[in-house]
Structure 1
């Protein structure tokens, strides 16, 4: 459809673009699955890309180590031949936490995220005795919102505690519902003057780790112009790819679906507006990743 402003390629298929790339950094939640079930056409596209010689590194802001994400994908019946490796925000956070292992930490987040602390022998405590804070999510993301943390954040700010945010995502889809993530808590803490380190997308450390992983898989250097990031978030996937100097294939039927016209169509005006507001254009746009 002709546009009055510069606009990225709109496509229903990854195949015509695939030969441009040796490596795909593919988002997980919102692109491969919705937290409840995988998207078969996406799995097929990644399998075909790998069959043609490409390498797929799943790049996720999950605040857990990569092995836990693999187990979760196994539970959803996502076949392992759809990807080569997984790099998580939790992997990057663990390195920062390990450097602080002598300090007492306040952990904000659910019990399911504690795998990233395995074998670190950390000391956990309350806000009045902590040396810093690790935020991996909300304690109960099914019932709570960031407003429920106002008093806790105020207490952290009074003590000038530094926060390591293990998942920069603000929200994520679970089925057809959006739930809050650690990034929403970290943003609220920054808003009251707190110091935060974000360990996942859109920040460089997770992309550097993913690129090193891809180069090990290929046994050779991978030029940035041969890497594509596939994702559904302007804030994390598109901005992160742009900042790292790689192309982005933007998926509309994910986190921004409602504002972009729904899961089965694209509102071109809304799409233009969201890119204009961000000041960034992806290389191409698709509704869902399909071959």
Structure 2
């Protein structure tokens, strides 16, 4: 794989692209506060180049996610549309709802994903016809081991898990937090079937392309879309699978693997990190800035 080009700012390549598909958590904020240089970069791209579509593996549907962004100081002057894994997942929830109750696996704050869907929910996995997973019940304190027994029993019954967030971890403040994708990986390792619609899978990108065409009034051209993200198994592999150029923000959740002892991006470590996943990035930066 070729070495990615190190970018000092998005302005250096912005004229090559007409639209931006930008990840949120880890690129624009850390769950506690937004990153002003990144917010400035997406505002400037939108003003000078074209639509900025925020693409997130959050299980929250669009409207709830926009409210969360506003609470962190990120407003709609910086983006044209928001597409979430929650939006893409709701189609699967509607499809499976007719089969019976879903074991609701996740915190109460994610319940908004069920709004407007005629779906029965249960907290008892033995009563469930399928699993709806938005995350750990308490992602600050729970461990995966606490879920192994119940998931093993569900896997024996071959219950389908619909995972609303393929992310395995995110950085919240200075902590690394487990996400629904880690539970989905555990369930798959136990023999349970898993369905995901967020990054790196196609359904969420299909929603982004449709939004791009609606905003521009013309068919999308993948060669003129730049993806930005910090997650290797989600953002990077998702962009690779879609044939999109990617700006990899490598000093976030992959900082230990991609930076040297001083915190600077290390080209050799970065290339090794990408090569392990047979992944590639056209550009790399330590943070998103204009």
Counterpart CA distance in 2 for 1:25 and 1:55 is 9
* C-alpha contact (below 8 Å) 2:23/2:54 kept by paired residues: yes
CA drift at 1:264? 4.8
Mean Cα displacement is larger for which, 255-264 or 138-147?
A: 255-264
Instruction: Give, in angstroms, the shift of residue 6 of structure 1.
Output: 2.8
Q: Hey, what does 2:265 align to over in structure 1? A: 266
With the length of structure 1 as denominator, give the TM-score of the two structures: 0.96
Do residues 253 (structure 1) and 251 (structure 2) align?
Answer: yes
Q: Please, which of 10, 27, 49 is the counterpart of residue 14 of structure 1?
A: 10
Q: Which moved more, 1:279-288 or 1:255-264?
A: 255-264
2:223 to 216, 222, 225: 225
Q: Output the TM-score relative to the length of structure 2.
A: 0.96
Report the alpha carbon displacement of residue 53 of structure 1 after superposing the two structures with TM: 3.1
Match of 1:56 in 2: 52
2:66 paired residue among 56, 65, 70: 70
- 5+ residue gaps, structure 1, are none
State whether residues 264 and 287 of structure 1, in contact with CA within 8 Å, keep that contact through their aligned partners in structure 2. Answer: no
CA RMSD of aligned residues (A): 1.2
Which consecutive unaligned segments of at least 5 residues does structure 2 have? none
1:140-159 equivalences in 2 (<5 Å): 140-159=138-157
CA distance in 1, matches of 2:277, 2:119: 39
Q: Distance in 1 between matches of 2:144 and 2:204?
A: 25
Q: 1:48 Cα deviation (Å)?
A: 0.7
Query: Which residue of 1 is the match for residue 102 of structure 2?
Result: 105
Q: Helix, strand or coil for the counterpart of 1:24?
A: strand
Give the corresponding residue for 1:123: 120
User: Which stretches of structure 1, 4 residues or longer, exceed 6 Å deviation after superposition?
Assistant: none
1:36 aligns with 2:38: no
User: Partners of 2:18 and 2:220 in 1: how far apart?
Assistant: 8
Contact 2:15–2:49 (CA under 8 A) maintained in structure 1: no
